[in-house]
Amino acid sequence: MDGSQGGLGEAPLEPASVRRFLSDNPEFLTGDRGLLDELGLAVAVGNVVDFGPAVMARVHAAHQREATQRQQIEETARANFSAQAQTHGAVVDVLDSRNHSDLARRVDDLARQRFGLAAGVIALETEGHPPAAWKMLVEGQVDMILGGPHRLARMGFAPTALGLFDEKAEIIRSMAMVRMAMWEPSRQGLLAFGSTDPEGFTEDMGPELVAFLARVVERTAERWPILKPDQ
């Protein structure tokens, strides 16, 4: 048998060919009730093909998906705008600090009052006493908490960071932490926020706003000298 003849040798149908055929032979579609039913179509007055329930349902479903996606985008945009506005307000609060202890108090206040978190903490690696209301860390502890010397931030839950929150540690379920470096010679520090919500901070969240706030805390803390261990 010649391979160029029969079904296996026929060229596949092109959409343009089907369209041209239906345009030249409209009765092929309008006269076939079974085919119209399968396609969810109906012939209206004037021999015009009308959309049936099945097609309308598909159109409605597509519209609903589009509306849901648009709503999600709008909600995300509003949440981002709100977070940015709260962060800018927090910056003003931080810049109004009068000393190191007031700075730590303000960080904790803005964490609870502005962001609805459980606590905000400033920690510093030091051999002596840290500034009042700051959390004392030993050398290398910032690296341990963040998970390595090259990590600048960590979002999510870190058991090694629970000690930062003292008596509130038992209710902390997620954290946002950013490395800081202050004074000369540089001293390693940490700005940490704790949430009671396991989804409050997650690993896939970007730390940009928290990092921005950490830079402000760094510069504000450097307004005042820190005493050496023997002073």
Does residue 142 register a pLDDT over 70? yes
Question: Is there a domain that residue 61 lies in?
Answer: no
List Cβ<8 Å contacts ≥24 apart for 219-226. Answer: 220/94, 220/95, 220/97, 220/103, 221/100, 221/103, 221/122, 221/131, 221/182, 221/183, 221/189, 222/182, 222/183, 224/99, 224/100, 225/183, 226/100, 226/131, 226/182, 226/183, 226/187
Amino acid 72: pLDDT: 73
Average pLDDT (28-57) is 62
Task: Please indicate, yes or no, whether residues 102 and 186 belong to a single structural domain of this protein.
Answer: yes
Question: Is there a domain that residue 125 lies in?
Answer: yes
Percent share of the chain, pLDDT over 70: 75
Task: Please indicate, yes or no, whether residues 27 and 97 belong to a single structural domain of this protein.
Answer: no
CATH number for the domain spanning 119: value is 3.30.450.40
Question: Is there a domain that residue 72 lies in?
Answer: no
SS3 224: coil
Rounded to the nearest angstrom, the gap between the alpha carbon of residue 126 and the centroid of all alpha carbons in its chain is 34
Q: What is the DSSP secondary structure assignment for residue 163, as one 8-state letter? A: G
Task: Please indicate, yes or no, whether residues 173 and 104 belong to a single structural domain of this protein.
Answer: yes
Task: Please indicate, yes or no, whether residues 103 and 213 belong to a single structural domain of this protein.
Answer: yes
Q: What's the structural domain count of the chain?
A: 2
Question: Is there a domain that residue 198 lies in?
Answer: yes
The predicted-structure confidence for 145-202, as pLDDT tens digits, reads as follows 999 999 999 999 999 999 999 999 999 999 999 999 999 888 999 999 999 999 999 9
The predicted-structure confidence for 86-95, as pLDDT tens digits, reads as follows 777 788 899 9
Task: Please indicate, yes or no, whether residues 95 and 161 belong to a single structural domain of this protein.
Answer: yes
Does residue 208 register a pLDDT over 50? yes
Question: Is there a domain that residue 182 lies in?
Answer: yes
Residue 211: which pLDDT band, with cuts at 50, 70 and 90?
very high
Does residue 231 register a pLDDT over 60? no
Question: Is there a domain that residue 77 lies in?
Answer: no
Task: Please indicate, yes or no, whether residues 104 and 187 belong to a single structural domain of this protein.
Answer: yes
Which position has the token pair 């931030």? 153
Task: Please indicate, yes or no, whether residues 95 and 190 belong to a single structural domain of this protein.
Answer: yes
Parent domain of 169: 86-221
Amino acid 49: pLDDT: 47
Question: Is there a domain that residue 166 lies in?
Answer: yes
The count of C-alpha atoms lying within 13 angstroms of the C-alpha of 67, restricted to the half-sphere facing its C-beta, is 6
Task: Please indicate, yes or no, whether residues 133 and 45 belong to a single structural domain of this protein.
Answer: no
SS3 191: strand
Task: Please indicate, yes or no, whether residues 15 and 102 belong to a single structural domain of this protein.
Answer: no
Does residue 83 register a pLDDT over 70? no
Does residue 134 register a pLDDT over 90? yes
Task: Please indicate, yes or no, whether residues 42 and 113 belong to a single structural domain of this protein.
Answer: no
Amino acid 1: pLDDT: 45
Task: Please indicate, yes or no, whether residues 90 and 29 belong to a single structural domain of this protein.
Answer: no
Average pLDDT (4-17) is 61
Residue 56: which pLDDT band, with cuts at 50, 70 and 90?
low
Question: Is there a domain that residue 59 lies in?
Answer: no
Task: Please indicate, yes or no, whether residues 94 and 19 belong to a single structural domain of this protein.
Answer: no
Predicted TM-score (pTM) above 0.75: no
Give the tokens for residue 12.
């596949």
